[in-house]
Amino acid sequence: MTSPAPSSATRLTLRGGGLKSPSPGLVLAAALLGFALISLDASVVNVALPSVEAAFGGGMAGLQWVVDAYTLSFAALMLSTGAFADRAGASRAYAIGLAVFTLASAACGLAPDLPALIAARAAQGVAAAVVLPASLSLVRQAYPEPAGRARAVATWAAGGAVAVALGPVAGGALTTLWDWRGVFFVNLPLGAAALLLLVRAPRSERRPAPLDVPGQLLAVLALTGVTFAVIEGGTTGAVALLVGVLAGALFVRVELRRSHPVVPFRLFRSRTVSVAVASGAACSVAFFGLVFVFSLFFQQVQGRSALYAGLMFLPMTGLIGVANLVSGKLAARHGPQVPMRAGQSLAAVGALLLLGVDEGTPPLLVAWLLVPMALGCALTVPPLTIAMMDAVPAERAGLAAGVLNSARQVAGGLGIAVFGALVSDGFTRGLRESLAISAALFAVTASLSFRLSGRPANSP
């Protein structure tokens, strides 16, 4: 795919009456820090959940909502925030989202009860939905050439993946050495640092991108209804499921008739786009769902401390960043299909290896058994992102990023809801059912990736 020439806003920017050449490295640093921050919050809270329950109560359903309030608002609003990033300009949207995210983090840390914490987590998710597509658009605009863009996107994705992976370790350390509130207060200096970096980055041009308000509202209603049904169950859950399914059906009907839908289904005419979205969703279901479950497993089933539980994720987290960078280089040299296939196959095998885990399995053995599945996801995510970006024109980068990452966040939220519901009825049996689901999803998406063909990202 031939890359378009850099836009005037990418080549030059007006600052204080003078022209200043942009620094791609500075843009990448600013985008990476903010993306890492919102990625950290997707997993840092998991190990702190038993401490949250001890402070506020709420049971398994309450713990699931602390995680899913963030994940679902993140996922649902990202459908529109990709277009918002294009419309407002990626740098402006990024600054707004990062500022709101930092303030919402302070509200989480100061929450007096569980409903207030869940509401603040939802606000964090809304802000994160703005930050993510804007950050990827910033990277896409700063690196117009395919080879440079592949390396930059891989670095960006690696930063987010490392943050997600380090979340359990950081959460365990902060909860043990400080308090569960520390997992939110740590965002304040990091958010301020990202905003300071952004001040020196070039401003992005605005692009016309209509907003689809009816589609966005229906998407929120559908996702919330289905997730509520899985978490809460019972008669209320059945009603919520019906509402969610009807809203989902109406969403599809409305989107097919709109000239500027929040989810342009024509994107999925591309096999690359469809496979990238499906592969990203499978990784999110398994990774986020299993980190949630194993965080509870180490503490509530095996009776370990939050710090100990966090350290048990260290073997897998220590290798994820390296695997991300390796997969980016493989994608640039051989095309994204090669690391995607290898990664998903490895993740499927990793999920199967964990099937023998029960309450008597030594924690250190569990820690190392988590490594293959995590490495498989780490090998998969950067190349699928590269494949997605190469499959769409530059002016649709923000929208495509929103669709891809919304699908991943929805999948992660549903993974937590489903896996949490399974283990609540019997932890060991529910854990094995969750692992079987993960392995099956990886097997399906791996087979789909073998149907892709293409050249390396740096090919002419």
In the block, tokens 């603040």 appear at 120
Strand partners, 20: 13
pLDDT per position as a tens digit, 216-264: 889 888 888 888 888 887 778 789 889 999 999 999 898 888 877 878 8
pLDDT per position as a tens digit, 353-374: 999 999 899 999 999 999 999 9
pLDDT band at 163 (very low <50, low <70, confident <90, very high): confident
Pick the more confident residue, 144 or 442.
442
pLDDT per position as a tens digit, 84-100: 777 778 788 899 999 99
For residue 329, is it within any domain? yes
Q: What is the pLDDT of residue 114?
A: 94
Query: CA–CA separation, 415 vs 136, rounded Å?
Result: 24
Q: Are residues 193 and 48 in the same domain?
A: yes
CB-based contact 405:60 (threshold 8 Å):
no
For residue 6, is it within any domain? no
For residue 431, is it within any domain? yes
Q: What is the pLDDT of residue 362?
A: 95
Q: Are residues 187 and 249 in the same domain?
A: no
The separation between CA 372 and the C-alpha centre of its own chain, rounded to angstroms, equals: 20
Q: Are residues 241 and 170 in the same domain?
A: no
Q: What is the pLDDT of residue 135?
A: 86
3-state DSSP assignment of residue 14: strand
pLDDT per position as a tens digit, 299-352: 989 999 988 998 999 888 878 778 877 887 888 788 888 889 999 999 999 999
Q: What is the pLDDT of residue 10?
A: 36
Q: What is the pLDDT of residue 334?
A: 81
Pick the more confident residue, 340 or 20.
340
- DSSP secondary structure letter of residue 395: G
Q: Which amino acid is at 255?
A: E
Closest to 357 in 3D by CA, of 450, 261, 423: 423
Q: Are residues 257 and 349 in the same domain?
A: no
Q: What CATH number is associated with residue 409?
A: 1.20.1250.20
For residue 457, is it within any domain? no
Q: Are residues 154 and 230 in the same domain?
A: no
Query: CA–CA separation, 55 vs 183, rounded Å?
Result: 15
Q: Are residues 286 and 429 in the same domain?
A: yes
Q: What is the pLDDT of residue 5?
A: 37
End of a domain among 201, 233, 261?
A: 261
End of a domain among 261, 279, 295?
A: 261
Query: CA–CA separation, 352 vs 346, rounded Å?
Result: 10
pLDDT band at 204 (very low <50, low <70, confident <90, very high): low
Q: Are residues 283 and 194 in the same domain?
A: yes
| DSSP strands (E only) in 284-377 | none
Q: What is the pLDDT of residue 430?
A: 93
pLDDT per position as a tens digit, 367-409: 999 999 999 998 998 888 888 888 887 767 667 777 887 888 8
Closest to 107 in 3D by CA, of 95, 119, 97, 89: 119
Query: CA–CA separation, 378 vs 408, rounded Å?
Result: 14
Tell me the two tokens of residue 239: 């009603």
pLDDT per position as a tens digit, 101-139: 999 999 999 999 999 999 999 999 999 988 988 888 888
For residue 15, is it within any domain? no
Q: Are residues 171 and 230 in the same domain?
A: no
Q: What is the pLDDT of residue 1?
A: 41
Pick the more confident residue, 184 or 87.
184
Q: Are residues 192 and 312 in the same domain?
A: yes
For residue 460, is it within any domain? no
**pTM confidence score:** 0.78
Q: Are residues 237 and 382 in the same domain?
A: no
Q: Are residues 39 and 173 in the same domain?
A: yes
For residue 1, is it within any domain? no
Q: Above 80 in pLDDT, residue 289?
A: yes
CB-based contact 97:73 (threshold 8 Å):
no
Pick the more confident residue, 107 or 20.
107
Q: Are residues 220 and 162 in the same domain?
A: no
Domain that holds residue 311: 21-211+262-449
pLDDT band at 298 (very low <50, low <70, confident <90, very high): very high
Q: What is the pLDDT of residue 237?
A: 79
pLDDT band at 22 (very low <50, low <70, confident <90, very high): low
For residue 456, is it within any domain? no
Q: What is the mean pLDDT of the chain?
A: 83
What total of structural domains would you count in the chain? Answer: 2
CB-based contact 217:191 (threshold 8 Å):
no
DSSP string, 93-137: HHHHHHHHHHHHHHHHHT-SSHHHHHHHHHHHHHHHHHHHHHHHH
- DSSP secondary structure letter of residue 15: E
